[in-house]
Amino acid sequence: MLPKKIAILAVAIGSLTLINAPAASAALLFQQTSSAPSNAASQPSSPAASTKAHAPSRVAAHHPVHRTSYRHRVYRRRASIHRRVVHRAVRPAARRTAALHRTPVRRRVRRVVYRRPVRRLSYSSSAYHHVRYRHALYHRYVPWSPWNVSSINTDPAFGDDIAGENPEIRAAALKALGHLNGSVIVVDPNSGRILAMVNQRLALTRGFIPCSTVKPMVALAGLKEGLVTLSTKLPGMTGRRIDMTEALAHSDNRYFAELGEMLGFPRVEQYAELLGYGQRASLDISDESPGVFPSQPPPATIGGVGRLTSFGTGIDQTPLQMAALASAIANGGTLYWLQWPRTPEEIEAFTPRVRRVLTGLVPYIPEVRQGMAGAVLYGTARLAYNPFEDIFGKTGTCSEDGGRMGWFVSFAQEQQPEYVVIVMLRGGRVMFGPHAAGIAGDLYRELLPQNVQSAQAGTYRPPALLNHPGL
């Protein structure tokens, strides 16, 4: 009787095991010991039989990861006490298994793409980026400048020989220049006598690029050759067409590049030689450099002859050569030899020496003066403006050999000019043409105190050109 009861109990236990097999398999993950030897006989004979008995979902039939998830859901219904434990234990394993069978999720793809340049960075590129980083830090916290020439000269008159110079004019020039690195020359345009020369070493030892001060020479050549007139308009830097007066006043590079291309290099060279480029300007100064005028134009890759006629590229010109040319424009067409008498006897016996008379250019000099007057009234040389006298000038700004150049070529009083003033600055960013014009304006005000006194007395004399010529 007892064996029959044992057999019935075994059948009942086997039936219950078939129903609760998923829950039992999940519970076995967290048990350290087996429950009874008879459990081995109570398990399904194969995974296929278990899958068929419990009818898993369509997703679980083709992916092993979802079979674990299905057992987890069955156990959650049967054993709520262990639900959170099973959830925490099965989910990491399911994610690791999914990583082997599924395409990486979008977040993982981004991570791979982001790290790829770092993994492929070679030693040379790492060094390059390190240098660039240090370079950026240096320029962020340390002031940097492309100019290697100092703008300051604590004593610009050091080493000058002041014998024979006008002391009042020299004092005014020194006061106007201050402690800047530059040179100031004052010449009598009616005789060619040098009245003052500050920083003689800088003015005599070598020539410098003339920048835009070459444009009056190009203007005279274009007018004489009949290529342009005072009202002829050519394209300017702003895109609109302008005439010569406005081009000189605003120092328009595109206008004079176009005019230089129209002239061609042979004609530009002819007029440059006529006006003294590449030649010594003085008669009795042995230390003067002759400067340089090139035998061929600049390369076409940087602008050709147009680059020469707008920036002065390839030309080396001394302040004395500029003073001689400005004197010829000021006095109406006579190019004098510059002379520098040093003793009282030489000053007493001083006689002007004419180098040549620019007969063919005389009719066109007043038209060039219009543009030089416009530069002071409303153009690039406005800092030189003085309501008590007429000032004519041309600025120039460019750079060479690690230094920035600032030029101003000028003269005062149209009918009877008394002074030609040349200001040359060399240094860093503050050295440019308008700054040189401001220094010349201070010098003119120091040289003409009688005009200021007459203006204060009520005899105000306005400048000759109050309107904008050419506009």
pLDDT in tens, 297-314: 999 999 999 999 999 999
Percentage of the chain modeled with pLDDT above 90: 58
Quote the CA–CA distance of 12 and 287 in Å, as a whole number.
128
pLDDT in tens, 241-280: 999 999 999 999 999 999 999 999 999 999 999 999 999 9
Question: Per-residue pLDDT averaged across 309-326, rounded?
Answer: 96
Helical residues (DSSP H) of 414-466, grouped into ranges: 433-447, 449-456
Q: What is the pLDDT of residue 436?
A: 97
pLDDT over 80 (residue 41): no
The more confidently predicted of residues 47 and 309 is 309
Q: What is the pLDDT of residue 361?
A: 97
Q: What is the pLDDT of residue 111?
A: 46
pLDDT over 50 (residue 383): yes
pLDDT over 80 (residue 39): no
Quote the CA–CA distance of 376 and 122 in Å, as a whole number.
59
pLDDT over 80 (residue 149): yes
Mean pLDDT over all residues of the chain?
A: 79
pLDDT over 70 (residue 233): yes
Quote the CA–CA distance of 313 and 303 in Å, as a whole number.
10
Question: Per-residue pLDDT averaged across 286-295, rounded?
Answer: 93
286 pLDDT tier (thresholds 50, 70, 90): confident
Question: Per-residue pLDDT averaged across 139-156, rounded?
Answer: 77
415's CB contacts (< 8 A; 6+ apart) are: none
pLDDT in tens, 54-68: 444 444 444 444 444
What's the one-letter identity of residue 355? R
Q: What is the pLDDT of residue 424?
A: 97
Quote the CA–CA distance of 173 and 253 in Å, as a whole number.
30
- Considering only 41-45, 121-125, 422-426, which range has the smallest mean pLDDT? 41-45
Q: What is the pLDDT of residue 52?
A: 42
The model's pTM: 0.68
Question: Per-residue pLDDT averaged across 453-469, rounded?
Answer: 39
319 HSE (CA, 13 A, CB side): 29
What 3-state class would DSSP assign to 157?
coil
Q: What is the pLDDT of residue 148?
A: 86
The length of the chain in residues reads: 471
Q: Residue 91: name the closest of 145, 29, 45, 152 by CA.
A: 29
Q: What is the pLDDT of residue 430?
A: 86
Quote the CA–CA distance of 59 and 209 in Å, as a whole number.
84
Q: What is the pLDDT of residue 146?
A: 77
Question: Per-residue pLDDT averaged across 62-79, rounded?
Answer: 50
Percentage of the chain modeled with pLDDT above 70: 64
Quote the CA–CA distance of 8 and 69 in Å, as a whole number.
35
pLDDT over 50 (residue 373): yes
Q: What is the pLDDT of residue 119?
A: 47
236 pLDDT tier (thresholds 50, 70, 90): very high
pLDDT in tens, 173-219: 999 999 999 999 999 999 999 999 999 999 998 999 999 999 999 99
Q: Contact 329/365 with Cβ under 8 angstroms?
A: yes
Q: Which helix (H) or strand (E) holds 357?
A: strand 354-357
415 pLDDT tier (thresholds 50, 70, 90): confident
pLDDT over 60 (residue 441): yes
344 Rama class: left (phi>0) / alpha (psi -120 to 50) / beta = alpha
Question: Per-residue pLDDT averaged across 95-104, rounded?
Answer: 52
What phi and psi, each to the nearest 5 degrees, are found at residue 12? -65, -40
Q: What is the pLDDT of residue 49?
A: 44
